């Protein structure tokens, strides 16, 4: 791998392999990097453990920014399945749309999607915050255990199916709620929490029209009367 490319903080995928680019990013303690000509490459900028800035100048493929620990990663385009999957901390921002399972199993950090997200956004969410500037597809926040998800637009069918303690905020319409997910009161503390989340995401919006959703907590304990549902 050409060391000049690293010193100049420009990693060009027309000249380097994905492995070379990821190795350069992972070995960096600090600094700012541009990934050029990504052309939908898969598994870019994965497992980054240090607080570096990474700007991906184009569309990314599957599992971009997965397992992020401390980096600030910006995708200047769309992203494929599983963007920011299993993220631990740091920030991932997608300036376009994303495919399914965005932020899956993410434990911490902030994922911002400026466009729309496909199905199962935030599936099995474990503590991260997800802010979607557009709409999300069906089964979003399925089995979401902890963390928060904000949807500025609409949500598809079965939102929050089998949800645990994650908190959901939706500004538009919800096609249907999943099992054990209900609408909850939107109090002053929730408006404040939502406003803080949007500020972190760099979104200026009125929080007055949002609705909050969460667990009805009826699936926590086995009940013989509900045996047919198990």
Question: What is the pLDDT at residue 8?
Answer: 47
Those residues with Cβ within 8 angstroms of residue 104's Cβ, 6 or more apart along the chain or in another chain: 82, 85, 86, 120, 122, 123, 124, 125
Instruction: Give the pLDDT confidence score for residue 227 in this predicted structure.
Output: 65
% of the chain surpassing 70 pLDDT = 93
Q: What is the pLDDT of residue 226?
A: 64
Per residue in 8-49, pLDDT (tens digit) is 489 999 999 999 999 999 999 999 999 999 999 999 999 999
Give phi and psi for 168, each to the nearest 5: -115, 135
Say how far apart CA 124 and CA 104 lie, in whole Å.
6
Confidence of residue 225 (pLDDT cuts 50, 70, 90): confident
Q: Tell me the β-bridge partners of 150.
A: 131, 169
- List the structure tokens of 22: 């990821």
CA–CA separation, 162 and 165 (whole Å): 10
d(CA 106, CA 85): 6
Note the Cα 25 to chain centre separation in Å. Answer: 21
Q: What is the pLDDT of residues 183-201, one digit of tens each?
A: 999 999 999 999 999 999 9
Report the predicted TM-score, pTM, of the whole model to 2 decimal places.
0.92
First to last CA, the chain: 54
Kindly provide the residue ranges of all beta strands, DSSP E only, lying in 89-144, ordered along the sequence: 91-94, 110-113, 126-132
Contact 37, 59 (CB under 8 A): no
Tens of pLDDT along 81-125?
999 999 999 999 999 999 999 999 999 999 999 999 999 999 999
Fold of the 3-229 domain: Pectate Lyase C-like (2.160.20)
pLDDT band at 230 (very low <50, low <70, confident <90, very high): low
Q: How many CA atoms lie within 13 A of 214 on its CB side?
A: 13
Statement: residue 222 has pLDDT above 70: no
Q: In what order do the strands lie in the sheet with 146-151?
A: 10-12, 32-36, 53-56, 72-75, 91-94, 110-113, 126-132, 146-151, 167-170, 211-215, 181-184
User: Does the pLDDT of residue 3 top 90, yes or no?
Assistant: no
- For the chain, the structural domain boundaries read 3-229
The contacts of residue 102 (CB under 8 Å, 6+ apart) are: 79, 82, 83, 84, 94, 111, 113, 117, 118, 121, 122, 130
């Amino acid at each position: 791998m050409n060391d000049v490319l690293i010193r100049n903080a420009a990693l060009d995928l027309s000249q380097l392999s994905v492995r070379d680019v990821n190795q350069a990013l992972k070995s960096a303690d600090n600094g700012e990097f541009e990934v050029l000509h990504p052309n939908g490459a898969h598994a870019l900028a994965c497992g980054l453990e240090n607080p570096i800035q990474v700007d991906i100048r184009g569309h990314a493929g599957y599992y971009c920014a997965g397992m992020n620990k401390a980096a600030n990663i910006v995708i200047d385009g769309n992203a494929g399945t599983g963007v920011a999957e299993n993220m631990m901390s740091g920030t991932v921002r997608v300036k376009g749309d994303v495919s399914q399972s965005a932020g899956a199993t993410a434990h911490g950090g902030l994922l911002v999607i400026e466009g729309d997200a496909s199905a199962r956004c935030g599936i099995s969410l474990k503590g991260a915050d997800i802010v979607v500037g557009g709409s999300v597809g069906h089964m979003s926040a399925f089995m979401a255990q902890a963390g928060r998800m904000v949807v500025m637009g609409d949500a598809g069918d079965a939102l929050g199916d089998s949800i645990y303690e994650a908190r959901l905020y939706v500004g538009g319409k919800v096609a249907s709620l999943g099992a054990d997910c209900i609408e909850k009161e939107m109090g002053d503390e929730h408006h404040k929490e939502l406003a803080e989340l949007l500020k972190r995401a760099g979104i200026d919006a009125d929080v007055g029209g949002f609705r909050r959703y969460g667990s009805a907590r009826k699936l926590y304990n086995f009940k013989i009367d509900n045996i047919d549902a198990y």
